[in-house]
Amino acid sequence: MTGSEARVQPIPPPEMNVIEISPCRLSSGRQWVLPASKSHLIRWIALASQSRGAIRIKHVGELGEDSINMIRGLRSLGAEIQISDGMVDVSATSRTFPRIPGKRIDMGNSGTGFRFMLALASSMGSVSEITGDISLRSRPFEVITGALAELGCSVSKGVRGGFMVSGPAVPGKVVLDLSKGSQPLSALLVAAPSMGVDIEVKIHGNIVSQRYLKLTYGICKSTGSGNEFSDQNVRIVPWDVTLPEEVTVPSESSLTPVIMLLERLHGVDLGSGNLVDSDLVAPEVNWLRSNDSGRLDLTAASDLVTPAAALLAIGGGGKIVGVGHAQRKESKRMATTEKLLSDFGLKAHVRPGGVIEVPGNQSPDRPEEDVRTYSDHRVAMTAMALASLVGATIEGESCIGATHPSFHQMLMAISS
């Protein structure tokens, strides 16, 4: 039996998806390789599928299930996409895109992909069923479904929990509340070449995750879009998608705080200082790298909240603000962050207004009961990082596949 097999043993029955992680020591000298950024990849392949051209998308690191499910969904609509080592090739399709899918489209746990797929499917006159796993089906999608309905599309909840959507859309005006997330506007913009109608958008609320929205506009501009972003009223106009021959997408930098947590727990260097190669979360990650206490605003990067709270707990403590919209993520992430830290004997207190207060100078303890992950990959990876120091039995760790399927194997490879 190898060392890694001794440390992590499945607990029967297999379908329970429970692992036992024993305390271990991590060694330095090996740089962690993060997966490809799903935010970049999903936008590029969605746009490329609507082009008459072809593109090669290069990446370092693996593809998560969210990216794979988006590729499968686009193939169901007629896209020609091939995956090879370090590359995703989108070819000029000889058929109409989007075409009516032969069966329901399962987006797994990808909220981004789900919203984008709803918008793309709305360009067709026939009904498409877009669904996902239990966690995704329980999440709120009223902003994008309401917008599609305002544009004349038919959108209804199916008997199995997914959505039935049909178009075609008509020109019109929509109101989007972007205080809950920017993805609905990104979805309408990315699907505009297929929807083929002018859309006037009135924006309500303080925009969160604004960098992701600017990423969408930037990638669209790279394919010929003349649409410009405004924080009040925007107009979306369709365009003919033109593609560069090749692009390279960065790594999933939003996972960097998990690697930083491993480094600080074990006093090792896993190269986290070299992992941020996009601007999406750079300011917040740099703050965490330079500070172990204080006030951290995650309005633009709420995905970091769980490992960031753990870093503050083992550091000097502080306050995380601007994460109220994280309650709409894979899990109710403010509450699950508080619960996860509590499982490991760490205190964190959720306050009104999207605030989490975290006392400092804490040390994790081995949980007395199984640790739940709530089908949330970021909660699960944070749990596994903490467990690498004190041990734990973790339920539902397979959800890490959404972004970083090999996280567990890489962790075991550097442990002893």
pLDDT of residue 326: 58
Q: Where are the domains of the chain?
A: 3-35+252-413, 38-248
Looking at residue 159, its pLDDT comes to 76
CA distance linking residue 295 with residue 317, whole number of Å: 9
Task: State the pLDDT at residue 325.
Answer: 66
Residues whose CB is less than 8 angstroms from the CB of residue 13 and which lie 6 or more positions away in sequence, other chains included: none
Element (H, E) at 174: strand 172-177
pLDDT, residue 10, reads 29
For the chain, residues with pLDDT lower than 50 are: 1-15
What is the value of pTM for the model shown? 0.92
Same fold, 3-35+252-413 and 38-248: yes
Please state, in angstroms and as integers, the Cα–Cα distance from residue 252 to each residue in 32, 95, 276, 288, 402, following that order: 12, 32, 8, 17, 12
Q: Are 104 and 60 in contact (CB under 8 A)?
A: no
Q: What pLDDT, on the 0 to 100 scale, is given for residue 6? A: 31
**Cβ(212)–Cβ(280) under 8 Å?**
yes
Q: What is the pLDDT of residues 181-219, one digit of tens each?
A: 899 999 999 999 999 999 999 998 888 888 999 999 999
Write the CATH number of the domain with boundaries 38-248. 3.65.10.10
Task: List, as own/partner pairs, every contact residues 320-323 make where C-beta atoms lie below 8 angstroms and the sequence separation is at least 24, other chains included.
Answer: 320/296, 320/355, 320/356, 320/357, 320/358, 321/295, 321/296, 321/297, 321/353, 321/354, 321/355, 322/208, 322/297, 322/298, 322/354, 323/298, 323/299, 323/354, 323/355, 323/356
Q: What is the model's pLDDT at position 205?
A: 85
Q: What is the DSSP string of 113-146?
A: HHHHHHHHHTTSSS-EEEE--HHHHTS--HHHHH
d(CA 313, CA 257): 13
- φ, ψ at 172 (rounded to 5°): 180, -170
CA distance 325 to 304: 12
CATH number corresponding to 3-35+252-413: 3.65.10.10
